[in-house]
Each structure stands twice: as C-alpha cells, then as structure tokens.
Amino acid sequence: MRIAKIKCSDYKEIQRIYNYYVQNTLFTFSDELMTDNEAIQLTNEGMQYTGCVVLKDEIVIGFGIAYPFRVENIFNKTIKLTYFLNPTYLRKGLGTKILNYLFAELKEKGFKEIIVNISSLNKPSIDFHEKMGFAECGFFQNIGRIKEYEISMIWMQKRI
C-alpha cells in the first residue's frame, strides 16, 4: 500500500468510499449520498490545498483532503481535514499515515492549525484523533438528527 497525491480522476473512488459511510454508518453529517459534483469539488480542494489517496494494487482504498476552515483571510493559517478509509482497511495504521502525510504537506505550506469535526457517535474517530494529538475545542450538543439518532458535533484542533 502506498500514499499518492490526489488527482482529478480520484473523485469517483472518493465518492464511493464516502457514500459507504453515508449508507452504513452514523459517522458523516449527511443522510444524502455525495453527488459527482460534490466529489469533484472536494477532490479539487484536495488538489489546491493538499490531498492524498491510499492505493492498494493501484486501487483507491482511502483518502485525505485539506480545505479551508473558513473563507475569510484572517483564518488563512487554519485548515480543515476530512478523510475516510475503505472499512476493510481500518485499524491497520493507514489513518495515521494519511494524517502524517497531510501534516507534513500542510506544515510546509505554512498552515499552523488543523481543525476536524466529528460525529459524537463516532467514538473510534474521537479516540484516534486524541491519539494523534488533537484536543477537543468545541462541542455542539444535539444539533442534528440522522436516522433516529440525535447527534452532537465535536470539534478538535491540533497545532502543527
């Protein structure tokens, strides 16, 4: 398995992986499948800021993408991340490799703060981010509903 820079043609695999989580988990903040246009836009942001894919036998099994936390210039040193792995490859160290790749690229580009937001129902992700040096910096209680569950949003931050 190897990590490679994201490219335009990766959007379909990114869409496929993300949509698995929409359909089968409570871990995304959406109950609607990602469209082609949304996947293309996310992929383009990964190409503009930084993004990577994890390849196994040249097939995309995971991705990580950085995009602006906010559009206002005063936040230009803060970046937001999203990343997902094919569930078959969870807990094999690939999430750590994705984050370390993104950290190095973002630090080189002058970013200082990394922000992630996580569903309160995604305990494995919260634990993983704590292990990777993120600290909780915000909590929005019961602000959404997915299927029959109320969800809260946890914000975590890491200085690089």
**What's the CATH number where 11 sits?**
3.40.630.30
Residues with Cβ < 8 Å from 133, sequence gap 6 or more?
158
The dihedrals phi and psi of 126, each to the nearest 5 degrees, come to -60, -50
Q: What pairs with residue 83 in β-bridges?
A: 64
Strands (E), the chain: 2-5, 50-56, 59-68, 78-85, 113-119, 135-146, 149-159
Q: Give the residue-averaged pLDDT of 27-45.
A: 93
The range of the structural domain enclosing residue 124 comes to 2-159
Query: Exposed, middle or buried by CB within 10 Å (0-12, 13-18, 19+), for 99?
Result: buried
Q: Give the residue-averaged pLDDT of 74-78.
A: 96
Confidence (pLDDT) at 129: 96
Quote the CA–CA distance of 110 and 106 in Å, as a whole number: 6
pLDDT at 148 over 90: no
Confidence (pLDDT) at 108: 96
For the record, the structure tokens of 9 come out as 């043609």
pLDDT at 128 over 90: yes
Q: Give the residue-averaged pLDDT of 105-127.
A: 95
Question: How many whole angstroms from its chain centre is CA 154?
Answer: 14
Confidence (pLDDT) at 147: 84
Confidence (pLDDT) at 120: 93
pLDDT at 1 over 90: no
Confidence (pLDDT) at 62: 96
Mode of pairing for the β-strands spanning 135-146 and 113-119: unpaired
- Domains of the chain: total: 1
State percent of the chain over pLDDT 70.
Answer: 100
Query: 10 Å Cβ neighbour count for 160?
Result: 14
